[in-house]
Amino acid sequence: MTTFNKLTENKNIQELIKTTFDVDFPLSGDWGYTQERATVIDSLPKGMPLKQMEHTLTSIRAHLEMNITQEKEHRYGGINANEKLREVISNNGHTFEKIHYEITAMKEDLYNSFIKEYKAGYENEELDLNEHFKRRKEATLVREVVHYFEISKIQ
């Protein structure tokens, strides 16, 4: 079983995200594992709703934890984050959102083989879709995570 470690504290997550994912988000703070290490959203990119920004940042964190920082044989693919619960917390004049997500993924090599099988079988109409998706579901890892965002600057 692969262990997913929390990302180390980083004084400039905005720069790390920009160099790794080629997106420039107005952020500060940390990776959001605790309220004290919240990801601070300094402003929203034009046209991007808050929920979309939070989901994107949680997905970035999951990709870093589950793929980019892992050795090749321990990497996961098909990583998806689904919001389960949202709480608003006010503390000393600051507003935080504590969001619970369900992260689903499967081992990267297995994920790639399922995609290849699906494409090949779908084109030939030889694939038993029910069986295919049953095996995919059985191979899927489910993690529950929490991500804290400070949203004081955008309210």
More confident residue, 147 or 9: 147
pLDDT, tens only, 80-98: 999 999 999 999 999 999 9
With bands split at pLDDT 50, 70 and 90, how would you rate the model's confidence at 11?
confident
> In 3D, which of 30, 97, 17 has the Cα closest to residue 56?
17
pLDDT, tens only, 101-125: 999 999 999 999 988 888 887 777 7
Q: Distances from the Cα of 110 to the Cαs of 30, 114, 136, 145, in angstroms?
A: 32, 6, 9, 23
Whether 117 contacts 72, CB under 8 Å: no
| Sign of the four-CA dihedral 83, 85, 86, 91 | negative
Q: How many CA atoms lie within 13 A of 17 on its CB side?
A: 22
pLDDT, tens only, 40-54: 999 999 999 999 999
Whether 64 contacts 58, CB under 8 Å: no
